[in-house]
Chain A
Amino acid sequence: MTSDGRRIVEARGIVKNYGQFQAVRGIDFHIEKGECFGLLGPNGAGKTTTVRMLCCVLPLSGGEMTVFGMSVREHPRRIKARLGVCPQENNLDPDFGVRQNLIVYSRYFNIPKAEAAKRSDELVRRFHVEDKAGTCVDDLSGGLRRRVMVARCLINEPDLVVLDEPTAGLDPQSKHQIWDEVRDMKAAGRTVLLTTHNMEEAQLLCDRLIIVDLGRIIETGTPAEILAKHGGGTLEDIFLKLTGKQLRDE
């Protein structure tokens, strides 16, 4: 158990090795209840690996991590029941319509049928996809599919929402809509973990953030603190200053 009840996530010295390659090299962070916590970094920095360890999908190679006060090693089912995760890659069921996608997903959480129907209708309304509720997701635009992904991760009314690059590749309209949703989630008292390499997004939404590169944390603080520390400019300037300008492979 964590000593501080406000800490939803606590990671201490977490490490991930893939064979010889070390993707995450001992990082510490914590996420507090009700905040939007940003995980920033260039491609291949170890963001998704960190997120997948937090979601109990990948085992840790070293260190300790607790979510809701429970160890990710010991209680994956109980932790996952309270998480709402939108992974980087869309993975909706292509054979189902939008509403059916939400219903099928609700069953994995053992949400009773009537309740699942109610929540699905609500989400369909809230995410403005009423007229597409029966449309096969394969026939939706990229922006719409992403919205359905975000809607789906709320079906179990999660305490912690994990959004892995939710707006990558979206047009400005779709992007703003998802940002509005994130604000609503926070207003509803949910904690949000957001990974992104969109600096504007981080600056707008995150209460606190860490910047990781090559598996290590290289900066941490509120957006304002980080800007002040590096003499102003934009977060993007600071990001490039910290992570270097060379291109990343992955």
Chain B
Amino acid sequence: MTILRNISLRLFRVWQRNFDVSLVTWKTNVLPPLLEPLLYIFAFGFGLGAYVEKLSFGGKTYEYVAYLAPGMVAVGVMFHAVFECMYGAFVRMRYQKTFDAILHTPLLIEDILAGEVLWGGTKGLFAGTAILAVITAFGLASYPESLLILPAAVAGGIMFAGFGLYFAAVSPYIDNLNLPTFLFITPMFLFSGTFFPLDGMPGWLQSLAWILPLTHLVTVTRAAAFGTLSWSLLVNFAFMVVVGFAVSYIGIKLMKERLIK
């Protein structure tokens, strides 16, 4: 448990550094998360949705675009958090030597890596909030229930940031990061109830979907956007918190072992 003991509040200095960088590069950081979901909503929601009959979910029927929109919020959280800690952290570790610079200050490696996870989670929250604003403008989120999406984006964001750091830690080269994208992130993007309800799928696929982390975030964002909250969402929150903690811990541990021999 040395890892937990070695994390101090100075981790916010790392968060602050990354935040400052994002202010410099905001054009490429802020606009895509706002515009990307718009593309999906237009292409799939309004475009493809025009050919799709209303679909029933949880005993009610919805327009396809209304079904899709909260899924896009969850997807935005996932992509922005996981990629920040996969590619972003990899570049800072390997090419910019940022971690090495910070290691020569009173911060320990655990502070740096925990700060990275917190930052990745923040990016997830930011993307989720931006997309929520967009779908709210289209009248696709009911309030006040949709405010629950914010804490869900924090829990989900930290969880996916943790996965990102884990992937960065075990990838020898930056190109190796294509593998978790193909094997883990893309399948989640497609099969976590983002584009279509899981009830129609075979039972084994439904069970498989339950262990995909994105499923739990989508379940919460959709229930919130539909205004159909229930206590069972606590299970989804618990999943994200427990898996998020575990995977962040493992990611920090492996990255530490990689950097400090």
Inter-subunit contact B102/A108 (CB<8 Å): yes
Inter-subunit contact A93/B21 (CB<8 Å): yes
Residue of A nearest to B97 (CB): A91
Which residues B85-112 have CB closer than 8 A to chain A?
96-98, 100-108
Q: Which residues of A contact B8 (CB under 8 A)?
A: 77
Confirm or deny: B17 has a beta carbon within 8 angstroms of a beta carbon on chain A.
yes
Residue picked from A85, A89, A107, most chain B C-beta under 10 Å: A107
A: number of interface residues (CB 8 Å): 30
Confirm or deny: A96 has a beta carbon within 8 angstroms of a beta carbon on chain B.
yes
Confirm or deny: B10 has a beta carbon within 8 angstroms of a beta carbon on chain A.
yes
Inter-subunit contact B261/A58 (CB<8 Å): yes
Contact of A108 (CB < 8 Å), options: B20, B25, B105:
B105
Which residues A97-116 have CB closer than 8 A to chain B?
100, 104-105, 107-110
Q: Which residues of A contact B16 (CB under 8 A)?
A: 104, 107
Residue picked from B10, B105, B107, most chain A C-beta under 10 Å: B105
Q: Which residues of B contact A110 (CB under 8 A)?
A: 10, 106
Which residues B9-26 have CB closer than 8 A to chain A?
10, 13, 16-17, 20-21, 24-25
Inter-subunit contact B98/A105 (CB<8 Å): no
Confirm or deny: A59 has a beta carbon within 8 angstroms of a beta carbon on chain B.
yes
Closest Cβ–Cβ distance, residue B24 to chain A (whole Å) = 5
Contact of A95 (CB < 8 Å), options: B10, B25, B101:
B25
Confirm or deny: B137 has a beta carbon within 8 angstroms of a beta carbon on chain A.
no
Residue picked from B96, B97, B103, B261, most chain A C-beta under 10 Å: B103
Inter-subunit contact B13/A57 (CB<8 Å): no
Q: Which residues of B contact A107 (CB under 8 A)?
A: 13, 16-17
Contact of A85 (CB < 8 Å), options: B24, B96, B104:
B104
A93 vs B100: C-alpha distance when bound (angstroms): 11
Inter-subunit contact B21/A96 (CB<8 Å): yes
B: number of interface residues (CB 8 Å): 23
Q: Which residues of A contact B13 (CB under 8 A)?
A: 107-108
Contact A80-B106, Cβ < 8 Å, known A96-B24, A108-B10: yes
Q: Which residues of B contact A78 (CB under 8 A)?
A: 106
Confirm or deny: B260 has a beta carbon within 8 angstroms of a beta carbon on chain A.
yes
Closest Cβ–Cβ distance, residue A172 to chain B (whole Å) = 27
A119 vs B260: C-alpha distance when bound (angstroms): 32
A95 vs B18: C-alpha distance when bound (angstroms): 10
Residue of A nearest to B20 (CB): A104
Contact A94-B96, Cβ < 8 Å, known A59-B260, A104-B20, A107-B13: yes
Closest Cβ–Cβ distance, residue A105 to chain B (whole Å) = 7
Inter-subunit contact B260/A58 (CB<8 Å): yes
Confirm or deny: A26 has a beta carbon within 8 angstroms of a beta carbon on chain B.
no
Closest Cβ–Cβ distance, residue A120 to chain B (whole Å) = 14
Residue picked from A87, A92, A105, A108, most chain B C-beta under 10 Å: A108
Q: Which residues of A contact B107 (CB under 8 A)?
A: 77, 108
Contact A105-B105, Cβ < 8 Å, known A93-B17, A96-B24: yes
User: Could you write out 15 A-B pairs with CB less than 8 Å apart?
Assistant: A57-B103, A57-B104, A77-B8, A77-B106, A80-B104, A80-B105, A87-B100, A90-B97, A100-B20, A104-B16, A104-B20, A105-B105, A108-B106, A109-B105, A110-B10
Closest 4 A/B residue pairs (Cβ) = A91-B97, A108-B105, A91-B101, A85-B104
New A-B pairs, 7, CB < 8 Å, besides A57-B103, A90-B97: A55-B103, A77-B108, A80-B105, A105-B101, A107-B13, A108-B107, A156-B105
- Interfacial residues, chain B to chain A (CB-CB below 8 A): 8, 10, 13, 16-17, 20-21, 24-25, 96-98, 100-108, 260-261
